[in-house]
């Protein structure tokens, strides 16, 4: 994904016994005391695997005690002793969870994966015990029923509303039989979603395209060949070239390799992941997930999982989502067909006696782009050295918001490749700590995301907490003496994830529950996607796009080529994304449990909406982690929904100046600082003065 903040507390089963001396263990376990580190960052140099399990157990024990104290308080329920108290409960569990689940995505191993499986049911039960605690819900409901007389400020009122709704949506109003069924469903889902992700990681790591004949590398740039040689050596295959399914390895091969059979081999390896009738096959897993979600939604009186999820999003209903997606589909599909026809002409002109296939798209798109715009992406990479791009993102934040970035070499890291930075306001006030983890490795899942080791809370109180945030990506690695040189897509991803990070850093909320990226799924992508708009603007490129060898700023004529090509291939990009979004909605608008034949289900639906055979859905079902092991079920549409918002929002900067501080302040104060404290559309209108218009997105993508 370009992904986003995504944090799900998967949960645990029967845990192994702790060592005999509990008091000694607590003393030695870093999680059981305040960290003696700069800004209370996690002491990764001291944290050992054996610390996690006892910390989880103690965290749940303390959390239960805190919740029981709230639920059984003999004093009359008030906002302070019930709602606020719940917001502060479970701090040890949050502390260890934030470290463990960040590592399970970015630096996992067999031990972490095994512990994740043991923890999954236990943590699910812990959450259900809170959601279904009758005494606790009675107190929450009592406060909620007197909300009009409480004279709460906007943030406190939102916390009350969301806390009450979370109990209702968590099953507090269900009868005993339905509560028992909900517990069973949630426990199964916690394990199945975990299994889905682990299967995907295993399949991703298992595939390698190993080449021992240099002739098979024809067409590939030298830098791509050098990277493949390094990968092969690391795999014990010195003298050969290895390509993996990590996108920095796969996509250049698809773009440039002249050998069509090998392009097919790597692409089919990618699109058939977890669909191979082996131990890592996800067909039965996802079918069970989809069916359990139907059952779960109907326990709450909703027709489908999508109805249940969307009730809390900006979209509100599946009909609204389909309305937007179908409107965009109708605009994008004709463009994609024209693009395919253009590529077929190139094939025919070259004497190729074959029809354009899915694994040909990148190769012939590159040829068309070069012919049309005289632009070869390999010309651009030298101007996008990763540290220069990172510094460009930092400079953008400085110009917009006055933020400064100071590298910190005194902060412990969880992996040697990680960078650590401190953010400060213009006056030197500490904002937070930033971990950057940019390169792929076998221990890291694919994609890119933002996550929090600690969220912001307590704004303007004596207990103020500053955020600790990470960006985790899978960018092109350095090769030999050559630094990491990024593609345009990778540049946009870096700015995108940085936008998520700013959303977390610039949060100014009192309550942890509402701070940072704790907003509806179809609003959370606005702060990230809006940042992408600056990447290729000439004024912005002049600040960071410098040749890694000469320091020369990217030439004006090359900038013009980039801009001219900006709308190129947008039919394809939009259609493959929309196909995945529509597939997500198709699965999650199912209203009855059924035996899903996954390949047929997917194929029949995508054919029914007119997807051309030359394009696959961006994510096929069996590796669609966003919706089957992440937090985007019934929500993958959020990127295009936010695309409408970000395209419209960026117009405000185009109208007033790319680095206009007043416009930036309005965006910071009305969007970034507010977290989930108010209705997102109201926040947007306060910034922009009106609801967004879809036209800006269509124009930006060349679809209108």
Cα distances (Å, whole numbers) of residue 410 to 41, 129, 510, 633: 11, 41, 29, 39
Q: Is 301 left (phi over 0), alpha (psi -120 to 50) or beta?
A: left
- The pairing of strands 430-437 and 468-472 is parallel
Q: Which helix (H) or strand (E) holds 431?
A: strand 430-437
Q: Which residues are catalytic?
A: 497
DSSP string, 55-86: HHHHHHHHHHHHHHHHHT-SSPP-IIIIIIHH
Q: SS3 sequence, 487-551?
A: CHHHHHHHHHHHHHHHHHHCCCCCCHHHCCCCCCCCCCCHHHHHHHCCCCCHHHHHHHCECCCCC
Quick one: angle between helices 638-656 and 318-349, nearest 10? 80
Beta bridge partners of 482: 479
Element (H or E) spanning 210, and its range? strand 209-211
Question: Distance between CA 520 and CA 433 in Å, rounded?
Answer: 25
Buried b / exposed e over 213-224, threshold 16 CB at 10 Å, is eeebbeebbebb
* Cα angle 339-342-347, degrees, rounded to a multiple of 5: 125
Nearby residues of 545 by Cβ (< 8 Å), 6 or more positions away = 383, 384, 388, 392, 553, 554
Spatial contact of 105 and 474, defined as CB atoms under 8 Å apart: no
| 91-104 per-residue burial string, b: 16 or more CB within 10 A, e: under 16 | ebbbbbbbbbbbbb
481 contacts: CB under 8 Å, gap ≥ 6: none
Beta carbons within 8 Å of 81's beta carbon, 6+ residues apart: 70, 73, 75
User: Which of these, 675, 694, 678, lies nearest to 686 by C-alpha position?
Assistant: 678
Is 249 in contact with 228 (CB distance < 8 Å)?
Answer: yes
Question: How many whole angstroms separate alpha carbon 453 and alpha carbon 97?
Answer: 9
User: Does residue 111 contact residue 49 with C-beta atoms inside 8 Å?
Assistant: yes
**Ramachandran quadrant class, 538 (left: phi over 0; alpha: psi -120 to 50; beta: rest):** alpha
Determine contact, residues 393/489, Cβ cutoff 8 Å.
Answer: no
400, 659 in Cβ contact below 8 A?
Answer: yes
449-454/468-472 β-pairing: antiparallel
Q: How far apart are CA 468 and CA 42, in angstroms?
A: 9
**Length of the chain in residues, anyone?**
704
- Residue 283's nearest CA partner among 629, 597, 618, 630 is 597
User: In the numeric block, which tokens belong to residue 86?
Assistant: 């719940």
**Which token pair is 177?**
């039989």
- Tokens 């930092």 correspond to 394
């Amino acid at each position: 994904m370009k992904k986003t903040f995504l944090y799900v507390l998967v949960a645990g089963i029967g845990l192994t016994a702790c060592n005999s001396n509990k008091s000694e263990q607590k003393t030695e376990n870093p999680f059981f005391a305040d960290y003696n580190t700069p800004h209370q960052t996690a002491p990764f140099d001291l944290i050992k695997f054996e610390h996690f399990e006892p910390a989880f157990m103690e965290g749940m024990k303390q959390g239960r005690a805190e919740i029981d104290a709230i639920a059984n308080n003999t004093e009359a329920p008030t906002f302070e002793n019930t709602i606020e108290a719940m917001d502060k409960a479970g701090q040890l569990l949050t502390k260890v969870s934030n470290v463990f689940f960040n590592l399970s995505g970015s630096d996992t191993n067999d031990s972490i994966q095994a512990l994740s499986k043991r923890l999954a049911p236990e943590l699910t039960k812990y959450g259900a015990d809170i959601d279904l605690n009758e005494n606790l819900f009675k107190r929450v409901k009592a406060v909620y029923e007197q909300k009009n007389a409480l004279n709460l400020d906007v943030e406190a009122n939102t916390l009350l509303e969301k806390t009450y709704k979370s109990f209702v949506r968590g099953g507090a109003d269900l009868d005993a039989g339905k509560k028992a069924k909900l517990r069973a469903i949630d426990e199964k889902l916690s394990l199945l979603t975990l299994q889905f992700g682990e299967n995907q990681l295993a399949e991703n790591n298992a595939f390698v395209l190993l080449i021992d004949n240099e002739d098979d590398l024809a067409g590939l740039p030298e830098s791509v060949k050098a990277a493949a040689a390094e990968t092969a050596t690391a795999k014990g295959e010195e003298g050969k070239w290895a390509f993996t399914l990590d996108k920095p390895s796969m996509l250049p091969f698809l773009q440039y390799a002249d050998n069509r059979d090998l392009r097919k081999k790597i692409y089919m390896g990618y699109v058939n992941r977890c669909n191979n009738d082996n131990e890592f096959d996800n067909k039965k897993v996802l079918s069970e997930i989809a069916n359990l979600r139907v059952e779960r939604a109907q326990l709450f009186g909703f027709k489908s999982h999508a109805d249940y999820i969307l009730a809390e999003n900006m979209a509100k209903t599946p009909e609204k989502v389909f309305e937007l997606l179908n409107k965009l589909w109708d605009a994008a599909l004709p463009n994609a067909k024209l693009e395919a026809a253009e590529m077929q002409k190139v094939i025919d002109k070259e004497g190729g006696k074959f029809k354009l296939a899915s694994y040909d798209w990148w190769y012939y798109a590159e040829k068309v782009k070069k012919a049309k715009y005289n632009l070869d992406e390999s010309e651009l990479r030298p101007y996008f050295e990763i540290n220069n791009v990172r510094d460009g993102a930092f400079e953008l934040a400085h110009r917009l918001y006055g933020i400064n970035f100071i590298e910190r070499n005194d902060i412990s890291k969880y992996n040697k490749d990680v960078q650590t930075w401190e953010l400060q306001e213009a006056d030197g006030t500490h904002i937070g700590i930033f971990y950057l983890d940019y390169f792929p490795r076998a221990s890291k899942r694919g994609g890119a995301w933002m996550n929090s080791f600690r969220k912001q809370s307590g704004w303007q109180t004596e207990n103020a907490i500053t955020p600790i945030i990470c960006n985790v990506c899978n960018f092109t690695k350095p090769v030999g003496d050559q630094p990491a040189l990024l593609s345009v897509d990778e540049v946009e991803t870096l700015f995108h994830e940085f936008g998520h990070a700013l959303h977390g850093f610039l949060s100014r909320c009192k309550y942890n529950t509402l701070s940072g990226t704790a907003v509806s799924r179809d609003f959370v992508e606005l702060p990230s996607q809006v940042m992408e708009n600056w990447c290729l603007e000439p004024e912005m490129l002049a600040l960071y796009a410098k040749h890694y060898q000469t320091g020369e700023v990217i030439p004006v004529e090359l900038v013009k080529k980039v801009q001219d090509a900006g709308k190129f291939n947008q039919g394809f990009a939009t259609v493959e994304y929309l196909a995945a979004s529509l597939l997500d909605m198709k699965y999650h608008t199912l209203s009855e449990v059924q035996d899903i034949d996954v390949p047929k289900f997917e194929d029949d639906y995508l054919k029914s909406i007119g997807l051309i055979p030359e394009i696959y859905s961006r994510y096929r079902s069996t590796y669609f982690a966003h919706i089957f092991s992440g937090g985007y079920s019934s929500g993958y549409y959020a990127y295009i929904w936010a695309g409408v918002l970000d395209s419209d929002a960026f117009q405000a900067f185009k109208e007033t100046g790319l680095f206009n501080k007043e416009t930036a302040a309005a965006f910071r104060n009305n969007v970034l600082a507010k977290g989930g404290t108010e209705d997102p559309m109201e926040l947007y209108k306060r910034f922009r003065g009106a609801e967004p218009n879809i036209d800006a997105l269509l124009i930006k993508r060349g679809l209108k």
